[in-house]
């Protein structure tokens, strides 16, 4: 809010950035940094901590991968549609994003789906037919979903509904869809959390769990609750919930890393990479939660300077923070709402 000067005019120097915009930028930029920082370690069972620290502190540019590319595609879609998810249009947007840069590290199954969509097939068929008809249980729907949780003032039930609709396009398996719902709701709750108050882990996880459909995902969250309370190490987290590309492993792993130390973006990213396995995606998801809580102010300065291809990230953050969610079933923006 602008201050009024003694002469009655608005003091432009007193106009601060919109607090919700800072949360959106924090989530989008930190997740892109984490995606890039985690990528060199993807697939390693054991991550060398010294190598992680070296990469975190040295100057080379941070080049993001498919996680961020599809996050941008989804964010731009939400902006175009006033916060809504139009599944046909979003399927085309995802496939076009893949076609523009197919070498960014996409999962094999989802890449095959995008190729079929580009060739004119319906996402309804390609999604359901993946992996012999079981549908993908990968974390690809969760890794791109943060923008749904960053729509201003959207009720959490609506965040969950739109997250699931965005997932269905490529991930027909219920565990992948629960992964996307969990990630989007976690980002939304983190973005609404008061920065001067510690996160209540039980309330936070209850807000997520209540929107899930599978008992398997809910029981993974009950393990996260124990891990977060114990402030578990990355190794303990990998041991307890897994670190693989399956959404039911990597999303709980990201939640456990974030909840163990939600105030420190640098340490959250460092720990997430140390979990091993799907490092770029676990780091990007934990970073989206942490950036949504800590805001742009929490972004390590060196990482911000190293981050490559930032133009779309900045543009879409501003546009996303300005979406009028009222028009698509939301309410007015606020950063000071309850945690659930
Ligand atoms: N049966 C067997 N394996 C499966 C199944 C299934 N039903 N579903 C998934 N997989 P995909 P994503 C395995 O291709 O979810 C990038 O590296 C299978 O090995 O649907 O978008 C990102 O950084 C398959 O190749 O793509 C993320 O780490 C893999 O899970 C990740 O890929 C990924 O599923 C996102 O992958
Ligand atoms: Mg990955």
Q: Whose CA is nearest to atom 7 of ligand 1?
A: 136
Ligand 1 pocket test target in 34, 138, 170 with most atoms within 8 Å of CB: 138
- The answer to whether the CB of 232 falls within 8 A of the CB of 240 is yes
**Closest listed ligand to the CA of 138:** 1
pLDDT tens sequence for the chain (340 residues): 333 333 333 444 556 779 999 999 999 999 999 999 999 999 987 899 999 999 999 989 999 999 999 999 999 999 999 999 999 999 999 999 999 999 999 999 999 999 999 999 999 999 999 999 999 999 999 999 999 999 999 999 999 999 999 999 999 999 999 999 999 999 999 999 999 999 999 999 999 999 999 999 999 999 999 999 999 999 999 999 999 999 999 999 999 999 999 999 999 999 999 999 999 999 999 999 999 999 999 999 999 999 999 999 999 999 999 999 877 766 544 444 334 3
For the Cβ of 76 lying below 6 angstroms from any atom of ligand 1, the answer is no
**Rounded-to-integer distance, Cα 105 and Cα 275, Å:** 19
Q: Which DSSP symbol is given to 124?
A: H
For the Cβ of 138 lying below 6 angstroms from any atom of ligand 1, the answer is yes
Position of tokens 């060739």? 119
Q: How far is the CA of 149 from the centre of ligand 1 (A)?
A: 23
Q: How far is the CA of 156 from the centre of ligand 2 (A)?
A: 26
Please give all residues whose CB falls under 5 A of ion ligand 2, grouped by chain where several chains appear. 278, 280-281
Q: What is the per-residue pLDDT across 10-69, written as a single tens digit (0 to 9) for each?
A: 444 556 779 999 999 999 999 999 999 999 999 987 899 999 999 999 989 999 999 999
**Rounded-to-integer distance, Cα 110 and Cα 150, Å:** 25
Structure tokens at 111: 């890449």
Best CA proximity match to 287, nearest among 325, 319, 321, 313: 313
Q: What is the per-residue pLDDT across 73-88, written as a single tens digit (0 to 9) for each?
A: 999 999 999 999 999 9
**Rounded-to-integer distance, Cα 59 and Cα 141, Å:** 31
Start-to-end Cα distance in the chain = 26
For the Cβ of 38 lying below 6 angstroms from any atom of ligand 1, the answer is no
Instruction: Sketch the domain layout of the chain as residue ranges.
Output: 18-83+138-321
CATH number of 18-83+138-321: 1.10.4080.10
């Amino acid at each position: 809010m602008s201050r009024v000067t003694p002469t009655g005019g608005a003091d432009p120097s007193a106009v601060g950035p919109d607090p919700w915009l800072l949360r959106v930028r924090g989530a989008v930029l930190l997740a892109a940094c984490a995606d890039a920082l985690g990528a060199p370690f993807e697939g390693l069972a054991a991550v060398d901590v010294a190598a992680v620290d070296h990469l975190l502190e040295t100057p080379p540019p941070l080049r993001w991968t498919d996680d961020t590319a599809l996050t941008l595609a989804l964010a731009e879609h939400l902006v175009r549609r006033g916060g809504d998810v139009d599944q046909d249009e979003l399927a085309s947007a995802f496939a076009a994003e893949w076609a523009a840069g197919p070498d960014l590290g996409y999962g094999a199954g989802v890449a095959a789906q995008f190729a079929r969509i580009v060739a004119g097939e319906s996402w309804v068929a390609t999604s359901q037919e993946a992996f012999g008809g079981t549908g993908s249980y990968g974390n690809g729907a969760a890794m791109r979903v943060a923008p749904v949780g960053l729509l201003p003032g959207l009720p959490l039930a609506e965040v969950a509904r739109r997250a699931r609709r965005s997932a269905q396009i490529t991930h027909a398996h219920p565990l992948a869809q629960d992964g996307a719902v969990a990630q989007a709701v976690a980002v939304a709750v983190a973005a609404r959390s008061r920065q001067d108050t510690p996160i209540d882990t039980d309330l936070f996880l209850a807000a997520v769990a209540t929107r899930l459909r599978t008992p398997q995902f809910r029981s993974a969250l009950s393990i996260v609750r124990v891990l977060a309370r114990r402030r578990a190490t990355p190794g303990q987290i990998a041991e307890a919930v897994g670190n693989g590309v399956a959404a039911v492993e990597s999303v709980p792993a990201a939640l456990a890393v974030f909840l163990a130390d939600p105030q420190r973006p640098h340490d959250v990213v460092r720990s997430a990479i140390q979990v091993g396995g799907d490092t770029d995606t676990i780091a990007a998801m934990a970073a989206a939660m942490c950036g949504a809580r800590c805001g742009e102010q929490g972004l390590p300065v060196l990482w911000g300077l190293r981050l490559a291809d930032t133009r779309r990230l900045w543009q879409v953050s501003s546009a996303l923070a300005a979406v009028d969610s009222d028009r698509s079933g939301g309410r007015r923006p606020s950063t000071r709402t309850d945690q659930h």
